[in-house]
Chains A and B, each alone.
Chain A
């Protein structure tokens, strides 16, 4: 087991109250595995990933749980100790390739900074490695492009640069937070393909965060569905797409645009909006939007239950009543 997150809780202490952005989240990632986290915007995906890295800024912070990375609890480490892991053992790429690179530094300096922070290398060696990494991620004439500033590159190229930087110290885990969201569809596919290749090449695990189930289907081995800071469903990709159980997951799947569907039927949308984190509905957080909401749902929060590796948090599948996972 490469990463084992247990009961992670991350909170933001605001003047108007405490927002629990990540609530009792547990999951594991194996070596070389691609685990996807999906959910609408605001469901706590980014906060989860930043929590792993110890990068939650005030007024937020990890309020509980364990983050066992190679059996070491990251949530107990000092910032100094975390710095040795960030960019080295665990690295990250972000949604906005346009703004995630420092606009006033040449890209080679940005990548070399990462390398020289973690590897004992001379400037010359670090530069050679930088060029090699740029080549690996498919940047043409990497030695010249290394001298470019970010604004001289396209979005797709910048995301390749981010990837080269993140992989430059051969991490065990790459966290990719919506790496394709800001890109054109064709470029999206290229970047996903790149992540896939890099996973093979470096045999690293990937935590792929996205709100796009299409991306999940393309790339992931296993999927976690998050809603309002909680995991509501977890399964391997095939199971999740063939037998989704949580009403939220069903809704998400129905709202994927189908290319072969040429009728001008309106795309399905889950009704309503993600609740304000300061005013969560009592009981199940999805109850105010759920078609199958029952009386009990508005009073109690269902537990995450597991049957045969498929986890779901919904009273429709209550083990206590049914003894077995099955839709009513």
Chain B
């Protein structure tokens, strides 16, 4: 198993090289020249040339890539054209906000998705099932920004229950340890900060979670309907154990395998949805920032973000595979299958 995990991590390298080549080319072919944007419209021709020379943009493209990738392999992702700060620093200043949002969203989506799915399957064709699947239908059809705006209007505007933007009240900002405010505030025993960070998270995380929750609920329902028909469920009932135990310990435990796949896929797509959510809720994360950098042709930052996201995708996939092996004893990752 460890060997398998190690091999999969090694496989990250070709993936990252491929992804980096693609994003490198796309940025240089389709993005406007960054020089006039950085220097302003009225910059002189010489100034533009000097800037391009200084940032290596006059080199042949393969040389540019070579320089970039050798730097990246040693941990140097370059500096932002605008802030002149190292890209890694720029990213890690914003990344925890996005990850925190995405993780809370996937937890919400998984919990409520599985709950709704299980109830719908167990009470098939009942009013609970219909209500659950109606919620799921809304979840898959409602655009995220629209849902976000509705949530803001209702819960912040009308009811004044929850804040509509930002991560935390600046007065309460906890000491930066991990960058995850929920964790940092707990580590520093700052309960007020925890509550405030949580209150700020509720709306954007709910908006972001809705679609995934709907997908997870549908998957859970169909997976549970299938497992509940299996012979071993009848065996479990014949043992005289309670119906709740039959449903959770036997049916859900078996139905979980496809559900975990969907959760893994959704975690990936949440990072995409985060861009919109961050914009609607003024969430200081990486999504909205990256969009701005794409528009400004800030090549090094965009490349860095894409590499990071690609790595996360691969790692999430790996984690899902490892969870499989725990969930299903019939799965064995041998060397051959790698």
Chain A contacts to B: CB under 8 angstroms: 50, 53, 55, 79, 82-88, 91-92, 94, 96, 99-106, 113-114, 117-118, 149, 151, 162, 165
Contacts and interface: CB of A to CB of B under 8 A. Distances in A.
B2 interface: no
Contact of A84 (B230, B240, B243, B330): B240
Given A94-B231, A99-B232, A101-B232, A55 B238 contact: yes
Prevailing SS type, chain A contact patch: mixed
B254 to A, nearest CB: 6
A105 B230 CA distance: 15
B328 A103 contact: yes
B94 interface: no
A98 to B, nearest CB: 8
Given A102-B254, A104-B328, A149-B329, A114 B239 contact: yes
Given A102-B254, A103-B254, A104-B254, A117 B235 contact: no
Nearest to A165: B239
Contact of B250 (A83, A85, A102): A102
B253 interface: yes
B327 interface: yes
A83 B235 contact: no
A117 B241 contact: yes
A92 B232 contact: no
Contacts of A79: 243
Contacts of B327: 104
Contacts of A101: 232, 235
A140 B251 CA distance: 30
A96 B232 CA distance: 9
Prevailing SS type, chain B contact patch: helix
A88 B235 CA distance: 13
B230 A99 contact: yes
Given A101-B235, A104-B253, 4 more contacts: A88-B240, A100-B231, A100-B234, A113-B239
A83 B328 contact: no
B329 A86 contact: no
Nearest to B124: A58
A55 B237 contact: yes
A114 B235 CA distance: 10
Interface string B97-127: 0000000000000000000000000000000
A294 to B, nearest CB: 41
A50 to B, nearest CB: 8
Contacts of B250: 102
B242 interface: yes
A87 B238 contact: yes
Interface string B120-157: 00000000000000000000000000000000000000
Contacts of B254: 102-104
A102 B234 contact: no
Contacts, number: 71
B232 A118 contact: no
A87 B239 contact: yes
A151 B330 contact: yes
A50 B237 CA distance: 11
B238 A92 contact: yes
Given A102-B250, A151-B330, A53 B235 contact: no
B83 to A, nearest CB: 51
Contacts of A53: 238
B236 interface: yes
A50 B250 CA distance: 19
Contacts of A103: 232, 254, 328-330
Nearest to A149: B329
A101 B328 CA distance: 14
B330 A94 contact: no
29 contacts: A82-B240, A83-B240, A83-B241, A86-B239, A86-B240, A87-B238, A87-B239, A87-B241, A88-B240, A92-B235, A92-B238, A94-B235, A96-B231, A100-B234, A102-B236, A102-B253, A103-B254, A103-B329, A104-B253, A104-B327, A104-B328, A105-B253, A106-B329, A113-B241, A114-B240, A118-B240, A149-B329, A151-B329, A151-B330
Nearest to A114: B239
Contact of B240 (A85, A94, A96): A85
Contact of B238 (A84, A91, A151): A91
Sorted nearest first, the 7 A-B pairs with minimum C-beta distance are: A86-B240, A87-B240, A87-B239, A99-B231, A92-B238, A83-B240, A149-B329
A103 B328 CA distance: 8
A79 B254 CA distance: 24
Contacts of B234: 50, 55, 94, 100
